[in-house]
Structure 1
Amino acid sequence: MIFTTGAIKEINQDQVRISGEGAYREIVLNVQAGAYILNAEDGAQIGLQDLKKGDKVTAYYGPAVTKSIPPQGNAIALLVGTPKTGSAGMYMQVAQLEKNQDSSIKALCTNADRIVTISPDVFAQTADIKEGSELIVWYDIMTMSMPAQAKATKVVLLPAKADIKVHTGAGTIVLNGKELALSEQDIIKTDGGAVMLPLSVIAEGLGYDIVWNGENRTVDLQNGACTMATLTIGSKTYGKLKMAVLLERAPEIINGKTLVPVEFFTDVLDLKVDINNSHI
């Protein structure tokens, strides 16, 4: 996680060009669906269309940038504006949590260079903060130690992002932030309001072993020796561990690939799925 603090120099559709100080003095960032655009003072959401040339901003992005001049990357979070008093919010993703005896928690960011202590009087629902959670935190003082440490004065817990993003318009599937390589046989089928997704490429991306029984036309998703889910072609009854789950759509085979309804991933595998018809 790296950042640049400065001002918006140019806006071009879903790209912003930022000039300032940080990992790169000038950077062009793609602001894709899922990127956070937030007020630096209170964490309120801001629309991309509301950004203006000259806006003060701290942009957070990953290390994967182009070698062009200026370099280009993908925005993770844009904190816009300068608070009238106190510090601007800092974006962080939690890598590790430690619970203290006074019910406060210590959150280590994924860069492993900052630890923020969050007390219940600042953020009452500390139990809602998990490893992987994304936060905006405010603080008055941060130590010069390594890792640096601070006590939060205000915290905003950002909404969890979808595990799977399906862009029906582009015909793409993004799993945990990475686009899956789909073959010509891996289709996304839309039928009215229903969406059917290719099972194997997603399940393998999730780390499951897939066991096909041709005689019974069943598929098992296994994690080691444990069968996490079972389905039968043509049957609306799915297995979730040792429970049965009834969905409105049965799995089917098209182009030699098993397709399952989106609800298989949400109701059986307990994942969050976002469906839209946009391009990435």
Structure 2
Amino acid sequence: MKRLITCLLALTLCAGLMCAPAAAAEESAPSRLTPVQVWGTITRLDDDSILLENSNESNPNSEIIVHLSETTYLIDAVTGDPMKTEDLKDGDTVYAWVGPAMALSLPPQAAATIVLGNIPADYAVPQYYQVAEVKPQIAQPINPPQPLTYVEFTATDGTEVKITDKAQLTPYLTKNMVYLESILPGTELLVWKDSQGSVIKAMLFAYDYRGYLSVSEEAVSVNGAVVGKTRASEDGDVLLPIRAVAEALGMEVSWDAAKGAVVSYGEKMIKPAPLTTNVLFTAMPGGEILGVDGDGETYETYGTCVKENGVTYLSLHTLANLLNLFIAD
């Protein structure tokens, strides 16, 4: 679904942002494209789509077709339990996070990341967030380190959220234990708040990345640990050292005269089925950058690859996509 979302046109979204009230635009300016929240009444329901009469006044579209897929979370807004499409019916109120891109049609269409149903009247609907940056809690000089008592994070839409150890933390559809320490850049979660705005419950979805990158003007960190220095290309693109980043994830990096840098699964890494190749991607300085998808098929991607003083560098976003890493703010 993520590739589908990426491929959809974003022109309708841009128009919606331009039509939003100026005051709302001044409150916070998201640094990246994020899912758009829509809500309203179901006027038509199919197996894989919902026609929604949109009640979000900041969105210029009175109706929107919300597409559902196998990866869409369809969740009971009260309990957090999964729902089925057949649990919905015409006239129901639902909240959905879609896009961020919308297909140009009438009404516009977008793929849903999450849909909330079974919403009682006047109920404080939980909010969906993806963590962009976690603000570290000041560590106390105690050995061994004590569990966190709170986590503050900035979501990808710019919202500031604080979750304390008083809140109930639950995983979605697993029996894994989750803690405040489980909230990392890239984490997706649903958050319930009380009438004072304090978080009383948070439900964490399975982490969708191998880890996260943090990039400054001079250094790059993988999962919070500095692994190397960054470099800028002639056109201002941020470049990262392939070997330093990949090896921090337990991968192996070699050099091939015909392919350039070759990044492969390490001995201790679990290779997903049905892959038969160990190679994740190859990158030739000044040449092709080839990735390997989940079916073992090779595809070409684009970015800047250079070699300098024996170190091979690759564009930040290209490397993050090839290694499935979240880019933290």
TM-score above 0.5, yes or no: yes
Q: Which amino acid aligns with 2:167?
A: V
TM (norm. structure 2) is: 0.49
Of 109, 117, 120, the match for 2:155:
109
Structure 1 unpaired stretches of 5+: 143-149, 164-206, 210-221, 232-237, 264-268, 273-280
Determine if the alignment matches structure 1 residue 87 to structure 2 residue 141.
Answer: no
- Tell me which residue corresponds to 1:133: 187
- Tell me which residue corresponds to 2:164: 119
Q: 1:33 is paired with a residue of what secondary structure? A: coil
Q: Distance in 1 between matches of 2:265 and 2:105?
A: 48
Greater percentage in strand: 1
Q: Distance in 2 between matches of 1:229 and 1:58?
A: 44
Q: Which amino acid aligns with 2:150?
A: S
Q: Which amino acid aligns with 1:41?
A: V
> Matched residue pairs, number?
195
Q: Distance in 2 between matches of 1:78 and 1:55?
A: 12
The 8 Å contact of residues 36 and 45 in structure 1, kept in 2 or not, is answered as yes
1:5 CA displacement: 1.5
- Tell me which residue corresponds to 2:98: 61
1:208 CA displacement: 10
The 8 Å contact of residues 208 and 223 in structure 1, kept in 2 or not, is answered as no
**Matching of residues 1-280 of structure 1 within 5 Å:** 1-22=35-56, 23=59, 24-83=61-120, 86-100=123-137, 103-112=149-158, 114-123=159-168, 125-141=179-195, 150-161=197-208, 222-223=242-243, 228-229=251-252, 243=267, 251=277
Q: Distance in 2 between matches of 1:270 and 1:225?
A: 9
Q: Distance in 2 between matches of 1:156 and 1:87?
A: 16
Q: Distance in 1 between matches of 2:207 and 2:270?
A: 26
- Tell me which residue corresponds to 1:184: none
- Tell me which residue corresponds to 2:32: none
Q: Distance in 2 between matches of 1:245 and 1:159?
A: 18
Q: Which amino acid aligns with 2:48?
A: D
The 8 Å contact of residues 129 and 189 in structure 2, kept in 1 or not, is answered as yes
1:56 CA displacement: 1.1
- Tell me which residue corresponds to 1:197: none
Greater CA deviation, 29-38 or 120-129? 120-129
1:6 CA displacement: 1.0
Change (3 A) 1:81 1:223: same
Q: Which amino acid aligns with 2:134?
A: L
Q: 1:68 is paired with a residue of what secondary structure? A: coil
Q: Distance in 2 between matches of 1:64 and 1:132?
A: 19
Structure 2 unpaired stretches of 5+: 1-34, 139-147, 170-178, 211-238, 255-262, 280-289, 297-321
